[in-house]
Amino acid sequence: MTLTTLCGLYHEEHGPPTGEPVILSAGLGGSGAYWAPNLSALAQSHRLVLYDHRGTGRSSRCLPETVSVEDMADDILMLMDELHLERAHIIGHAAGGMAALALALKAPERVGGIVIANGWITPDPHFLRCFEARLNLLRHAGPEAFLRAQPIFLFPAPWISQHHGELDHELDHQMAAFPGRETMEKRIAALASFDIADRIGQITHPILAYAARDDMLVPFTCTTEGLKQAPNCEVELAPWGGHACNLTDPLRFTGAVRDFLSRHKL
């Protein structure tokens, strides 16, 4: 495993250096550590690059006045340039998946297969309502209330009950690593305004649209109905797992991803 910071972005590499490169891009929280449950299985055959989004984790905390999903795509491209990767597969969760789509539109020749977990192509009233509720917690009750409520949007209710102690234990770490209200406001605004419904047909890359039926934050139809408008998209609908389904059901998720990557080489 290698760990370093390039172009202001903290990143790690796992797996064989000669494997086909796969970039893992996290969701709203932005931390590459989000992918921990999936690393061992995916690193068996691929060169994995995970990173902390700009403004979060161990990456530079400096952000422009306004942040867009296209900025997130530019960061992936910048990281690829620094690592001398001409082309890579991208696995993205929610925000990370949106960045992958934006990059596929901007620099299609740099992108191989795309895996999107619980993503969308246009804003949906339900997740906009969820974002507003979370922002109101952050603005009026503070970061701890925001973080304590976060599992409700990420995980199935029975899973939260079973992992209640672990979630409480992680709270101190999450508080210490919290990027701040201003950063979260900017990142949520970027996601809320992302809309490529009129351009999704231009993305001809192989896409795996992976969704969980019980996702509390992003209705699974946003993923299954929206992304299947891309000409080369296949859909995997998990019966459960919540928004963070790669964490709650990593075996199913990594199995689907490995099968997809085995059929779509760079």
CATH of the domain at 188: 3.40.50.1820
The token pair at 221 is: 């139809």
Q: Say how many domains are in the chain.
A: 1
Query: One-letter amino acid identity for 8?
Result: G
| The predicted structure's pLDDT at residue 6 | 75
| The predicted structure's pLDDT at residue 1 | 73
The range of the structural domain enclosing residue 172 comes to: 2-263
| The predicted structure's pLDDT at residue 5 | 79
Q: How far apart are CA 226 and CA 106, in angstroms?
A: 20
- Please, what's the b/e burial string for 140-150 (b: 16 or more CB within 10 A of its CB; e: otherwise)? eeebeebbbeb
Query: One-letter amino acid identity for 98?
Result: M
Inter-residue contact 217 to 60 (CB < 8 Å): no
Block means of pLDDT (10 residues each) for the chain, 266 residues, are 82 97 98 97 97 97 96 98 98 98 98 98 98 97 97 98 96 95 98 98 98 98 96 98 98 98 97
The token pair at 32 is: 């590459």
Inter-residue contact 227 to 121 (CB < 8 Å): yes
